[in-house]
Amino acid sequence: MVDTAVSARTHELDRAHVFHSWSAQGALDPMVLAAAQGCWVWDGQGNRLLDFSSQLVFTNVGHQHPALVQAITDQVATLATSAPQHAVASRSEAARLIVEQLPGERLQKVFFTNGGTEAIENAVRMARLHTGRHKVLSAYRSYHGHTATSIHLTGDPRRWPNDTGAAGVVHFFGPYLYRSVFHAQTPEQESQRALAHLEQVITLEGPSTLAAVVIESVVGTAGVLMPPPGYLAGVRELCTRHGIMLVIDEVMAGFGRAGTWFGYQHDGAEGLAADPDLVAFAKGVNSGYVPLGGVAISTEIAATFAERPYPGGLTYSGHPLAAAAAVATIELMKHERIVEHAAEIGEQVLGPELRALAEQHQVIGEVRGAGVFWALELVSDRQTREPVVPYNASGSANKPMAELVSACRRRGLLPFVAGNRVHVVPPCTVSEDEARYGVALLGNALGEVFGG
């Protein structure tokens, strides 16, 4: 199935000519991805690995799903491309399906982009133009993308080398009970205190200067932090009180990942309590088969641009192939109950299995998550909660985590590692057996690197 000569050539050409993201180029040794099917991938030597990363947390219906491959193939044959100003069947249908899945009736229009960062850029642009205000609040523990506004909104260390003074962005502490900056003991306390803190930030920054609060419903790469009870509803209330737009970033959490269609459905009244003004999405919307992102827009904000032109656009906004993949993904998720399946796998398999793993491995300080969106926080001491590697570790300081990745791969598991955490993020379609098998491999790898 895998031609090792082709793989060798792929690797050689990659090293000669491909400049990779977020990396010092010199030491890179990328794994060749030769083939993929369902929850499995094959490397350049033909080794099969269980994909517990969903690549970058986007193959929500798995690799090479026949329905998606067919939908894209059919679209290529019918209308392979189009300029954004035309009405195109796959784009119209994708927009309808997306707003139909969103809770409530307020989000009725979609502006399509090519990915998550552009979705955030446009959400903030819309909020600024709608409110006539400039400043935006976001959480320290967050990732919102790599373009100018998104990288400034981002809290995690990827912002540092790009930060030109964070013009117009102010960061706050979101809830994170395991490392509570509010000295909270319970999720309820954490929620209330994080809201009191946000209220202070809003007061001191000047509510009339704030266009938007941008927040991940479930914080993704920065930790898989589920919103504690009432938190998103409380943020909504603060925003409403001060005329601030609430932008919810669903780029990673959306489309089944947390066992719900959208991550903010974890917070009260099936998401109606959070009631965002703008929702940014990407990744899972079409399982990443063709780049796609977008912003779902409230009727009030859409009305701002009814007479006045919206000053933004992209050549490939709502590309027909990407939109066709979105239509196929959403229909598949609905008809095959994939979101419900992800929720069940979380409740019945991943949650219990990962908690059992924590009983065997002292290095696991906390297990948290839902659906197919979990994190194991690795600590050198359970009492002090000292992370196994320092914040933003690289090179030799990050050696234990690098060794863990190698140990997983040698066993046939493709993991997702961020800081001192392993994120367990397989496709939403992962079977019970695959989920159990992957956790067992992860347990073996943890044992090898950190002991029992």
Taking the complex as a whole, the smallest distance from the CB of residue 220 to ligand PLP amounts, in Å, to 4
When the beta carbons of 119 and 445 are compared against ligand PLP, the nearer one is 119
Q: Which region, judged by CB under 6 A, interacts with ligand PLP, from 42-50, 142-150, 203-211, 318-326?
A: 142-150
Q: Is the dihedral of CA 8, 13, 16, 18 positive or negative?
A: negative
What backbone phi and psi angles, to 5 degrees, belong to 16? Answer: -75, -35
**CB atoms near residue 431 (< 10 Å):** 15
Nearest to 238 by CA among 168, 283, 191: 191
Taking the complex as a whole, the smallest distance from the CB of residue 417 to ligand PLP amounts, in Å, to 14
Taking the complex as a whole, the smallest distance from the CB of residue 157 to ligand PLP amounts, in Å, to 14
**SS3 (DSSP) at 227:** coil
Taking the complex as a whole, the smallest distance from the CB of residue 402 to ligand PLP amounts, in Å, to 21
Taking the complex as a whole, the smallest distance from the CB of residue 328 to ligand PLP amounts, in Å, to 19
Contacting ligand PLP (CB under 6 A), which of 117, 149, 298, 398?
Answer: 117
Q: Is 121 one of the binding residues for ligand PLP (CB under 6 A)?
A: no
What percent of the chain is helix, strand and coil (3-state, nearest 5)?
Answer: 45, 20, 40
CA 109, 113, 119, 122: dihedral to nearest 10 degrees? Answer: -80
Contacting ligand PLP (CB under 6 A), which of 221, 260, 265, 286?
Answer: 221
When the beta carbons of 56 and 67 are compared against ligand PLP, the nearer one is 56
Q: Is 63 one of the binding residues for ligand PLP (CB under 6 A)?
A: no
What's the Cα-to-Cα distance from 12 to each of 31, 48, 231, rounded to whole Å? 12, 21, 49
| Closest chain position to ligand PLP (CB) | 116
When the beta carbons of 54 and 221 are compared against ligand PLP, the nearer one is 221
Contacting ligand PLP (CB under 6 A), which of 115, 155, 426, 443?
Answer: 115
CA–CA separation, 271 and 264 (whole Å): 5
User: CB-hemisphere CA count at 13 Å for 109?
Assistant: 13
CB 367 within 8 A of CB 376: yes
**SS3 (DSSP) at 413:** strand
Positions 233 through 262 that interact with ligand PLP (CB under 6 A):
249, 251-252
CB 287 within 8 A of CB 61: yes
Taking the complex as a whole, the smallest distance from the CB of residue 410 to ligand PLP amounts, in Å, to 27
When the beta carbons of 42 and 111 are compared against ligand PLP, the nearer one is 111
Q: Is 282 one of the binding residues for ligand PLP (CB under 6 A)?
A: yes
Using CB under 6 A as the criterion, which residues of the chain lie in contact with ligand PLP when the complex forms? 56, 115-117, 120, 143-145, 216, 220-221, 249, 251-252, 282, 293
